[in-house]
Structure 1
């Protein structure tokens, strides 16, 4: 299984038997949504994940998804109410509500001055998950009260999300709740943390500094939900450990017709930067209620895999859906079929760009050798996971066994395309000897089968050389 399945846990799927079936049919990463619960709620669920890990003998990753600064409007009078195209409404801080006797326009309150600061005439405003679109027509009181015109008709309800496409928001990446959930989540055993509404590399750095206070390393998944994040993608990729294309909120910030191409560009940039990328939101949404997906959904999942995504994610489908296990089965079947075509049409392995990056060229060379000798597996030893990610980014046809002495790195490698993470006991002796012992004991590799092994060995001139060895090994 090369493309990994991420499944969100919720009321429909937290039973141990249901989780077991999800693992049996391909789930390797469980998403824990801190928007709806806290660490205490997830603690017994993480214990079940560890129990299933032991039962199946494979790593399973618990991804804690932090809520972030979700922005919502306040109460709307006579909610829900119809809004007509061309109608003028007011948007402002709660204490700027006008007297209805002097101005009877619908007032939309937003108790977040940071979001209104810098709003100018002509800027777009989206409400109700993008179903209502507005444009600012007048600054009634700068940074506090604005008139806006509806670009389409629809229903306006209280407490709905609001978005300002393309506008930078002076909001921290982590709210007070996020900081609390981050530390408590690490305490109960989450293996990775996703941060919401990332805008720039500083948001990632802030999160990593907060994790460092806990005295551990935990990988960070940056959720791309804002136009600013797309514009700052190169800088974000230098710091983040992985990326999620969160198409729901991103689709509010970016024009929907541009979203498919944005997805492709983000996936490509992530592969070139050796950062695993998850494609998420509404992938098989109709299966919340229906036992089979729509044709469009099936094509959407396949296209994400053909674009080169490392992971595809299920949200409501497994959290609250009526067909949890069946949805996982369908996603696995789509993935298996798409993978065959993907490997037929891509140059395998991908050649690196002309750049000074010996590690990437070693990984590429290992993939070429594996192809030439018709090996079924590449085995990569890595303390940090870098060697494994480099090899994964070349998209070889062979299964990649990522062996590491670090349990946190092992769980992180579940995000990487084509990788089977395995924990290798850090005994004495060099890396190559330990990897050869792993091959000898691996039941998936048959006696007489050739494998390609990559590892690092210190030299007199460099005691931290990274990957500097390739070995052809017959079991």
Structure 2
């Protein structure tokens, strides 16, 4: 299987045996959801994953998923509150004295100040839609487009509106620093609005003497307007369909997913598809037909990773969920290869992109067993991955951070190699000769950086067919 599976750790799968089963089925990334816990509560899990990592001699990535600013209404004076289409509703501070019979307490004055007449507000986790019809000193007046009920503490969203709220809350900043001290390998940032949110997280990581990849979760419609900028600065993109589906019209969600994935593929940035992939398996031992089709389509769209959330965290069938996702992904990949779409020619110009594509073409022509890429930054492995070759890709690096990062890329197996000898080609050939899965007579396609005389390092500039 080339597509990567991310498993969310929770009460249903936190024991050692279940995590080992996940690893044996190919899971290489484990998500810790900081919406449901603090760093202290994850210490035991992190230590357990590290222990399994040593036992299996496999690089495992621990992904910290930060909560982000989940915006909610306050406590209603009378809950539930019935709303009819055409009703005028007021929204403002909980302690504001007003005569409005339909009043939604909302204690985010910064966001209210960002609103203007004509803006759209969605309440009850997207269930009810309102239009702003008037801005008053401390509150806004809304006109309901739907009928339904509102209860206390329901989610509120503002499609297409850039708010003054940072994607990193005070809790997120504390959790990030604590997570870095515990050794997390990647961090996912929720409710990203623009590249400045990613830059802020990267600054905190750098201030703490670390480098870890930052995953930008696309959950806000406003973020899609700056998609190229976000892809450029982020290390990984996540199509977080839950909240994105609340902000954007549901009929547009499938095409948005495809457009985001395509943009990431063209930029050679790993992309994750998440939310409700196999949701019915929280309760049932097998997925629905629609869910299996959804997973397969995400693979065919070009996703690098698929993420399981409730399915593994709290579901009754966590192991079965991973098993089904693996089987569905493998079937979809087989179809992709049957169609003759591999390797995929890169869209962007550049020597490195062409070299990666040439390596894939060469691997096909010589019936290579695998592609082996020595990489300091993981970039070459990502370029080869974006070409979607049928062969396995081995990304070799002495850098632990890059090994963890490469786990996000389609088809790439990250390999820890020693820093000696200095020559990258020699390191790569040493790996091939010592790797038991490569048999005598196997052809391998190798990429590496071969520096000029006097240079210590070089970008990838060498392509070689190596027969073991």
Residue 78 (structure 1) aligns with = 78
Point out where structure 2 has 5 or more consecutive residues left out of the alignment. none
CA distance in 1, matches of 2:116, 2:339: 47
Residue 127 (structure 1) aligns with = 123
Shift of 1:446: 1.8
Residue 296 (structure 1) aligns with = 290
Structural mapping, 1:2-401, within 5 Å: 2-98=2-98, 102-104=99-101, 106-139=102-135, 141-142=136-137, 144-345=138-339, 347-353=341-347, 355=349, 357-401=350-394
CA distance in 1, matches of 2:77, 2:325: 43
Moved more, 10-19 or 114-123: 114-123
8 Å CA contact 2:336, 2:342 repeated in 1: no
CA distance in 2, matches of 1:327, 1:155: 34
8 Å CA contact 1:173, 1:207 repeated in 2: no
Shift of 1:391: 0.8
Shift of 1:270: 0.5
SS in 1 for 2:73: coil
SS in 1 for 2:146: coil
SS in 2 for 1:35: helix
Shift of 1:55: 2.5
Shift of 1:154: 2.3
Shift of 1:87: 2.4
Length, aligned pairs only? 468
**CA distance 1:367–1:176, shift in 2 (3 Å):** same
Give the one of 423, 435, 438 matched to 1:442. 435
Report the TM-score when normalising by structure 2. Answer: 0.97
8 Å CA contact 1:9, 1:318 repeated in 2: yes
SS in 1 for 2:63: strand
SS in 1 for 2:295: helix
Report the TM-score when normalising by structure 1. Answer: 0.96
1:65-87 Cα deviation digits (max 9, x unpaired): 01111111100122223322322
SS in 2 for 1:287: helix
Shift of 1:353: 2.8
8 Å CA contact 1:69, 1:174 repeated in 2: yes
Moved more, 217-226 or 49-58: 49-58
CA distance in 2, matches of 1:65, 1:179: 12
